[in-house]
Structures are given as C-alpha cells and as structure tokens.
C-alpha cells in the first residue's frame, strides 16, 4: 500500500455518496471524520456538528470499510460519506478525505468525539487571527461520557496534560485538530504506511510540521467531549502498543525528546523514581524469599524503608499538581486511587523506553563494529544483481 502523494486524487475503488447538502458557497472549513465500526458513537458526533453555531463548513465522513450499521446511521445526516476501497486505518482515511475537501482549512474529528457548538467558530477565528498559524488542536473536556473510574481518569488526565502544556505546541492531536490543507499536503499528510492502526500518526505529523518551520497552536478553549469507555486492559494495551512503543521509536529516529505534554522534566524524573522504587520492592521481595542475601548491616531494613518512604514522598511532591487537580474535580478518594494507576503508567512507559532505547544503542554498536568492507561487498552484490 502506497500513500497518496496527491491528496486531490481519489484512489481507485473509493466510493462516495452525498446526501442533500445545505447550499453553501466555498465552505471555510471541511470537517473530516474517519470511522470504523462506529455505530455506538457516530450519531452523537454528527449531531454535535449539526448543532454548530458556525455555519460555513462541510462534513465528510470517511467510512473505513465498516461492517456494522455505521453506513445506515451516517445516511441520516446531510454529510458526504466516502468509503475506502480497503481498510486503511484512521491515518489513511483522513488522507483520503482530503481529496474531497473543498475548504482551505481541514478539521479532523474522531468519530467518538462530540464538539460543542462553539468549537468550529473558535477554529475559524484563530486561523483568521493568525495567518502564520499552520495548525491548531484542543483537548478533551472534564466531563467524559462514561462515569467509571478508568474512563474518568484517562480523559481527565488527557485534559490536564493539554491544559497545562505550552500553547506553542511541538506536536498535533487529531481527535479535534485543524490544519491548513495546503500545508498538510506539502508535508505529506499522515504517514499511514507506518501507522496502519490508531497510533501516534498525529504526533508524528506535528513533528514534521514543526521541523518545516510551521506554527502549531494548542488552544485551551477548544474542549470536546470523549465518548470512549476505557478499561484497565485497553488502557494499558493502548498506552504500550499504540503510544509508548511507536513514540519511543519516533524519538530514537528523530533524536528529539520534547519537554512538553507527557514528556516534561517532572514526568521524566517521576518515571526514573518509579523505576527505582519498583526495583527496590523487587529486591526486598527476593531478600524475603531468600533468593538474594540479606545485608547484615545494623538497621538495614529500617534504612531501606526510609529510602522507599523518601522516594514515595518525592513522587507525590513531583506530581502534587496532578493529584490535587483530580481531588478538586472528583474528590480525594478518587485522587488516592489515581496515584497507583499513574505510577503504573510511569513504570510501563519508562520500561518501554529503556528496553527499546537499549536495543537501539546495541544495534548501533553492533553496526559500528562490523567491517566496512562487508557493507561495500553487500552493496556490490546488490548492484550486480540489478
């Protein structure tokens, strides 16, 4: 599968159906909603767009070969529905939607996100106000649809991180983010050859935009409702396989570790402290099980507990703003339950970075030790085989 180099070119096999649209001349915004088996949420998403206070926009729903009732639901709304020729993933679906966009500014909205009535107006206003701005994105609001602990924690944490981050962003978020169409096409759009499933395709796009000298704004007034229900299992799976692993690979490739969003200095230090704390507990357990020898220095156990207590205190102090935020929004009992889940996040995220970072450094070391002539012979053989 090859990425579409020309986003104005419709790929073979794509189909499009358009319901009667309100007559508009040159809409200022094109809203692209990628969806795959989204029958649970797509109606809420489109209803939110229908109730928008801003009117100069069109909506393109890119159906990524859904097998549920998504198609029937979308047909009830005055939007253009595009069906991909095969499953492309959200990155490829968004790229394909660009080919149908009439406006010069494209707004990406996830199918499980509901925009408030003023959202599109905020986006249009900010692009008018700053002609140099290439892209803008917002955050989830503080009232997610699901009221269980995991969903509340995950969505509130996303909101907290974005609301505390620098408005001059170094990345992008496609849950609710907009970009100038010309700039998007110029940098190559989303890399759907690499990201066939929901991942960090928006973060990677943001890196490329910033490297090309573009300005991205994180607008803290632009807050949207998330409908997804999280569980411990899908939260950990998503954090590791869709975020931590691909983001670590991207950091190692670009050799750029930004100090924003989830990668602030405090977050990095907390990750290290959680790693030390976890190793300490493992050592204590192995000593108790007589697998490791116990030191005979007087008061050793008390000293070890003191060290553990100091690390715990440091972690709480470093993340006090986070926990006090949760306490303010959901109460101290909720905040107390956040602490171990938050530290677990630091543990597996840091573990992924250490493992992949070590493997990357080992690979570079091995390659540097290989004889140069071996590489030249390989090149020679390849040239002869051609």
Indicate the pairing of strand 80-83 with strand 57-63.
parallel
Indicate the pairing of strand 133-140 with strand 176-180.
antiparallel
Q: For 38-54, write each residue's pLDDT tens digit.
A: 999 999 999 999 999 99
CA distances from 225 to 144, 158, 159, 263 (A): 6, 12, 10, 24
The greatest distance separating any two alpha carbons of the chain, rounded to the nearest whole angstrom, comes to 84
Q: What is the pLDDT of residue 262?
A: 52
Q: Is the dihedral of CA 66, 5, 181, 140 positive or negative?
A: positive
Mean pLDDT of the region 74-83: 96
Match 């909205």 to its residue by tokens: 109
C-alpha closest to that of 153 among 97, 75, 85, 232: 232
Q: What is the pLDDT of residue 362?
A: 82
Where residue 8 falls among pLDDT bands split at 50, 70, 90? very low
Contacts 24+ apart (CB under 8 A), 301-309: 304/280, 307/280, 308/277, 308/280, 308/281
Q: What is the pLDDT of residue 291?
A: 61
CA distances from 18 to 58, 60, 182, 196, 327 (A): 11, 9, 24, 27, 47
**pLDDT above 50 (res 374):** no
Where residue 244 falls among pLDDT bands split at 50, 70, 90? confident
Where residue 227 falls among pLDDT bands split at 50, 70, 90? very high
- DSSP run (H or E) holding 222: strand 215-226
Q: What is the pLDDT of residue 380?
A: 31
Q: Residue 245 is encoded by which pair of tokens?
A: 């692993």
Q: What is the pLDDT of residue 280?
A: 57
| Cα separation, 214 vs 168, whole angstroms | 11
Contacts of 145 (CB under 8 A, 6+ apart): 151, 225, 226, 227, 228, 229
| Cα separation, 244 vs 195, whole angstroms | 14
Q: Residue 276 is encoded by which pair of tokens?
A: 């030390």
Contacts of 287 (CB under 8 A, 6+ apart): 293, 294
Q: For 302-357, write each residue's pLDDT tens digit.
A: 777 787 788 889 889 989 999 999 999 999 999 999 999 999 898 888 888 878 77
Contact by Cβ (8 Å): 195, 114: no
Determine what percent of the chain is predicted with pLDDT higher than 70: 79
**pLDDT above 80 (res 127):** yes
Q: For 180-224, write each residue's pLDDT tens digit.
A: 999 999 999 999 999 999 999 999 999 999 999 999 999 999 999
Q: For 274-285, write each residue's pLDDT tens digit.
A: 777 666 555 555
Match 């300005």 to its residue by tokens: 215
**pLDDT above 60 (res 261):** no
Q: Higher-confidence residue: 6 or 118?
A: 118
Match 């949760």 to its residue by tokens: 326
Q: What is the CA radius of gyration of the chain?
A: 24
Indicate the pairing of strand 80-83 with strand 15-18.
antiparallel
Contacts of 260 (CB under 8 A, 6+ apart): 165, 166, 169, 170, 171
Mean pLDDT of the region 142-160: 96
Length reported for the chain: 386
Helices and strands: H and E segment counts in the chain: 14, 10
**pLDDT above 80 (res 372):** no
Indicate the pairing of strand 133-140 with strand 57-63.
unpaired
Q: Is 97 helix (H, G, I), strand (E, B) or coil?
A: helix
**pLDDT above 80 (res 378):** no
CATH architecture of 15-230: Alpha-Beta Complex (3.90)
Match 């630091």 to its residue by tokens: 346
Q: What is the pLDDT of residue 24?
A: 46
Mean pLDDT of the region 137-153: 96
Q: What is the pLDDT of residue 369?
A: 83
Q: Higher-confidence residue: 334 or 21?
A: 334
Start-end of CATH 3.90.550.10 domains in the chain: 15-230
């Amino acid at each position: 599968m090859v990425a579409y180099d020309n986003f104005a070119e419709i790929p073979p096999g794509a189909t499009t159906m358009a319901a009667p649209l309100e007559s508009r001349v040159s809409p200022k915004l094109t809203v692209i909603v990628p969806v795959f088996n989204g029958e649970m949420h797509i109606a809420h998403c489109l209803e939110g767009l229908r109730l928008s206070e801003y009117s100069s926009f069109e909506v393109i729903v890119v159906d990524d070969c859904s097998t549920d009732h998504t198609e029937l639901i979308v047909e009830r709304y005055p939007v253009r529905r595009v069906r991909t020729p095969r499953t492309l993933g959200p990155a490829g679906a968004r790229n394909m939607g660009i080919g149908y966009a009439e406006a010069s500014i494209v707004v990406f909205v996830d199918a499980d996100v509901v925009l408030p009535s003023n959202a599109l107006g905020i986006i249009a206003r900010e692009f008018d106000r700053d002609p140099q701005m290439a892209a803008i994105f917002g955050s989830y609001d503080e009232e997610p649809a699901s009221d269980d602990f995991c969903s509340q924690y995950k969505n509130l944490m996303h909101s907290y991180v974005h609301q505390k981050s620098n408005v001059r962003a170094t990345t992008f978020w496609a849950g609710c983010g907009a970009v100038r169409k010309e700039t998007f096409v110029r940098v190559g759009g989303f890399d759907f050859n690499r990201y066939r499933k929901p991942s960090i395709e928006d973060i990677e796009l943001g890196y490329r935009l910033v490297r090309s000298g573009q300005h991205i704004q994180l607008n803290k007034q632009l807050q949207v409702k998330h409908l997804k229900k999280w569980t411990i299992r899908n939260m950990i799976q998503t954090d590791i396989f869709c975020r931590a692993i691909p983001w670590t690979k991207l950091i190692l490739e670009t050799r750029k570790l930004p100090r924003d969003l989830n990668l602030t200095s405090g977050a990095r230090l907390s990750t290290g402290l959680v790693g030390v704390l976890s190793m300490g507990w493992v050592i204590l357990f192995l000593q108790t099980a007589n697998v490791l020898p116990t030191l005979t220095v007087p008061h050793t156990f008390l000293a070890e507990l003191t060290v553990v207590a100091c690390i715990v205190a440091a972690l709480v102090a470093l993340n006090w703003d986070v926990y006090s935020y949760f306490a303010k929004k959901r109460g101290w009992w909720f905040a107390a339950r956040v602490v171990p889940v938050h530290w677990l996040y630091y543990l597996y995220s840091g573990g992924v970075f250490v493992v992949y970072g070590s493997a990357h450094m080992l690979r570079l070391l091995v390659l540097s030790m290989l004889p140069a002539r071996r590489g030249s012979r390989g090149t020679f053989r390849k040239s002869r085989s051609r």
